Amino acid sequence: MKTLSLYVHIPFCSGEKCNYCSFVSFCDKENRKKEYVDMLCKEIRLRAKEYGNFYKVISIYFGGGTPSELEQGEMTRIVLEIKNNFKVVKDAEITLECNPDNITEDKLREYKLIGVNRISIGGQSLNDKVLSFIGRRHNSKQLKNAIKLVKKCGFDNINVDMMIGLPYQTLSDVKKMARYLIKSKIKHISCYSLILEEGTKLFNMSLEQNIPFPTEDETIDMYNAVYSLLNKAGIKRYEVSNFALPDYECKHNLNYWSVGEYLGFGLSSHSYMEETRFNNTEDFDLYIENLRDDIIPVVSKEKLTLQMRKEETIMLGLRTKYGISIEDLDYNFGTHIVRDKKDEIEFLCSHGFISLRNGRIKVCENAYYVLDSIVLKLL
């Protein structure tokens, strides 16, 4: 039986959206949570008729928005719906994102009871000025308390997100947060560089005022500092933006990076099944209306060509410490990459950008900052 990962989108936030956020989420639909969960559960049942008997689910990821915004009991409904309609393996990784300002002990006890075994906390920074400027609703004290509370409730597998390249952020800020997470014995840390997306509040603010963003070199220094501190603590980089102690790598994301199949539920969710990408509508009302009529609200679908799948395998595989298997690539796509890309591979190896060992091509530790250029040479 083939393996499958599930993603569940919870599009609710409280207050206002974070200034940098480009995800599909809403702060003005508090009274429509139950309605959304009803239709989400219906979508799960409808999708199970297509795929439920042919796959075993190895991971479930609740993202958003803010999944912890749901009222108590609603997450239980969703998880039970999944387990009643799909074959979820006993040791499936079940991750739930939460924000430090709205996580409670009662909710965490509920999550533990229904099988959630991995909590991802949106921390971003320990500098209160930075947090306030980017529109986060929590402060550094709340983040520290949230970490303690999640641990108190029995969760050992915890991820904390941190961001670099933020306005008013300094190298000292970044080092301070990395050291705190190490001291707090966090097993998994995601370190993302700010991407200024058009249409976000922060993007518009940047057009209207002189915002003190770190330079590109300063942001690289921040990333390198995080890498160095975590590496010394045994928290190893296994993907460009993700670091973990041994055996605490995120199984759900590893499935994405190995071009495994995944099925998305909820508003704006994306799926990759049977060599086809498809995604749900971003229109909240349309999502609800379609599912009331037993219609899954898919708005686009694309069958990937052999070339597209090969390119994706190379691009995603090189993001990880595992790299790409030459034998698998050649077998699956009818290529001979070492012969076809002989000059490019010799150049990249001789300049210390990639290694070619044990039948695998991997990006060298100090070359991730030019990853996009490396990928382009090998496509």
Taking only the tens place, the pLDDT of each residue in 178-222 is 999 999 999 999 999 999 888 888 888 888 888 899 999 999 999
Could you give the C-alpha distances from 326 to 66, 317, 354, 379, in angstroms and in order?
A: 40, 11, 13, 13
SS3 118: strand
230 pLDDT above the threshold of 80: yes
Question: What pTM does this model have?
Answer: 0.95
Question: Among 138, 229, 139, which Cα is nearest to 181's?
Answer: 229
240 pLDDT above the threshold of 80: yes
pLDDT at residue 157 in the model: 98
Give dist(CA 280, CA 300) in Å, integer. Answer: 7
Give dist(CA 80, CA 83) in Å, integer. Answer: 5
User: How many CA atoms, within 13 angstroms, populate the side-chain half-sphere of residue 110?
Assistant: 18
SS3 160: strand
pLDDT at residue 279 in the model: 98
Mean pLDDT of 348-371: 94
Tens of pLDDT along 148-161?
999 999 999 999 99
Could you give the C-alpha distances from 205 to 22, 199, 201, 210, 211, in angstroms and in order?
A: 14, 10, 6, 8, 8
pLDDT at residue 293 in the model: 97
Question: Among 273, 279, 248, which Cα is nearest to 95's?
Answer: 248
pLDDT at residue 17 in the model: 81
Q: Is the dihedral of CA 368, 370, 374, 379 positive or negative?
A: positive
pLDDT at residue 319 in the model: 96
234 pLDDT above the threshold of 90: yes
Question: Among 13, 183, 33, 32, which Cα is nearest to 98's?
Answer: 13
Q: Which two tokens stand for residue 268?
A: 């704006």
pLDDT at residue 154 in the model: 97
Q: How far is CA 94 from the centre of its chain?
A: 13
pLDDT at residue 182 in the model: 98
15 pLDDT above the threshold of 80: no
Determine whether 351 is exposed, middle or buried from the number of CB atoms within 10 Å of its CB (0-12, 13-18, 19+): exposed
User: How many CA atoms, within 13 angstroms, populate the side-chain half-sphere of residue 99?
Assistant: 22
pLDDT at residue 113 in the model: 97
Tens of pLDDT along 246-270?
999 999 999 999 999 999 999 999 9
Q: Please name the residue ranges forming H helices in the chain.
A: 33-51, 74-85, 105-113, 128-133, 140-152, 171-183, 201-208, 216-232, 251-257, 284-292, 306-317, 326-333, 337-340, 342-350, 371-378
Q: pLDDT-derived band of residue 16, with 50, 70 and 90 as boundaries?
A: confident
pLDDT at residue 172 in the model: 97
Tens of pLDDT along 21-75?
888 888 888 889 999 999 999 999 999 999 999 999 999 999 998 999 999 999 9
User: What count of residues does the chain have?
Assistant: 379
Pairing of strands 87-98, 324-325: unpaired
